[in-house]
Amino acid sequence: MITQIKHEIANFDALEIIQYVQQKFGSDAVFSTSFGIEDQVITHLMAEAKSKAAIFTLETGRLFPETYYVWNRTLEKYKLPIKTFFPNTEAVEQMVTQKGPSSFYESVENRKECCYIRKIEPLHRAIKGYKIWITGIRSEQSTNREDMESVEWDEANGIIKIHPLFHWTLSQVEQFLKTNGVPYNPLHDKGFPSIGCQPCTRAIQAGEDFRAGRWWWEDKSKKECGLHVTTK
C-alpha cells in the first residue's frame, strides 16, 4: 500500500495530499499536533479540506504557557476538535516519587523514561485503531528526519505515516503562516524553532542546529524522544 500511496501522491502539493487522505481514508486517518508552526500549517489545510481525520495532542503536563495560548487560538479560529491525551497518572506519580521532578537531566535513560511516560505511551493510545498518521515533519528538521521518507511504515506503532510538508523549507512554512493569518506559538519569534516540554527546550543561537534547543545537555545523536523513530 505504501508504494501505491507514494505513486498516487507523487506530484501533489500539501493540500492535495490532505485531500487525498480524506478521500481515500476519511476517519481512518489521524493527525498529531504539538502546535508548532508546521502543525499549524497542517491544521489550516485540514480545515480548508474539510478533513474528517481526527486531531489529537499530547498534554505532557510540562508545556509552555505560550503553547496553551496557541492551543486556544487554534480552537477559536478553526473550530476543529482536538482530542487530548494525558500520561498515565500512576506512572507519573511513581517516577516523580522515586526520582524527583527533574530526573531527566541526570541521564539519557531517565530522560527517555520521562519521554516514554509523558509522550510515547499516550501516543500509542492516541493512534490505536487508525490506518494513517499525518504529521508536520519536514526533512530538514534534523539528521534523523533527513533519513525518513514522505510516506513510510512506522513499525513501532504499526501505522502508515504521511508527511505533507516533508519537502517544505522553513521559509515556506513562515510565509504560509503570514499569508494565511495562521495562529502560531510566539516562542518561535524568540529563537525557539522546536518547542516541546518547558524544562527540556531552550532557544537556539544563530548557526546552531534546528534541534539544538531540545535536550541541549545531551549528545546530538540522541536528540529524539521516540515519537518519530522509524524502522524501515
Question: Which whole-number Å values give the CA distances from 161 to 2, 24, 89, 103, 120, in the listed order?
Answer: 9, 14, 28, 32, 16
Task: For 126, list phi and psi in degrees, rounded to 5.
Answer: -70, -35
Cβ neighbours of residue 23 closer than 8 Å, sequence gap 6 or more: none
- Rounded to an integer, what distance in angstroms lies between the CA atom of residue 136 and that of residue 157? 17
197 is catalytic: no
Task: For 29, list phi and psi in degrees, rounded to 5.
Answer: -110, 150
Residue 107 zone, left/alpha/beta (φ > 0; ψ -120 to 50; rest): beta
Here the cell at position 131 is: 490506518
Which residue in the block uniquely carries the three cell numbers 532557544? 203
End-to-end CA distance of the chain: 14
Indicate which residue of 114, 115, 197, 225 is catalytic. 225
Q: Letter for the amino acid at 64?
A: F
Question: Which whole-number Å values give the CA distances from 133 to 5, 29, 124, in the listed order?
Answer: 13, 6, 12
Active site residues: 225
